[in-house]
Amino acid sequence: MSNPIDIVIYHNPDCGTSRNTLAMIRNAGIEPHVIEYLKTPPSRTLLEQLVVRMGISVRELIREKGTPYEELGLGDPSLTDAQLIDAMMEEPILINRPIVVSTLGVKLCRPSEAVLDILPQEQKGAFSKEDGEVVVDASGRRV
């Protein structure tokens, strides 16, 4: 019996990139632990740890489109990381997605095919994004 593969995706089902990422994880034969982060946001400590593990800045994790980013003045370069995280804790929609955690790393999967870099199993077959873009060919290789 093989060891189960533990993958976590911080997911927004209303986001096409997030849906494509989830579908690619499943196309590898893995059923991830799906956390709808708008319903169950990560704690402040966990969010800070995810940023460090992804190797990105706090500012890189903030989503602008479709959020109160402008209204909250989050483009102000004088804001500290702590202030930006405060905003994400108050308004989880500001957390960019999807974030995927695997044994091979943690990644903000934008574009969605970035998830292929951290999946411990190959794709089981062809995969096309919702918009029809082919990402994986019939033999399971990245295009």
Are residues 106 and 100 in contact, defined by beta-carbon separation less than 8 angstroms?
A: yes
- 7, 9, 12, 15: the catalytic one is 15
Asked whether the CA dihedral 138, 141, 142, 143 is positive or negative, the reply is negative
Q: Rounded to an integer, what distance in angstroms lies between the CA atom of residue 19 and that of residue 25?
A: 10
Q: How far is CA 25 from CA 63, 82, 105, 115, 123, in A?
A: 23, 32, 14, 8, 8
**CA–CA dist 97, 141 (Å, integer):** 24
Annotation says 15 is catalytic:
yes
Which residues are catalytic, by number?
A: 15
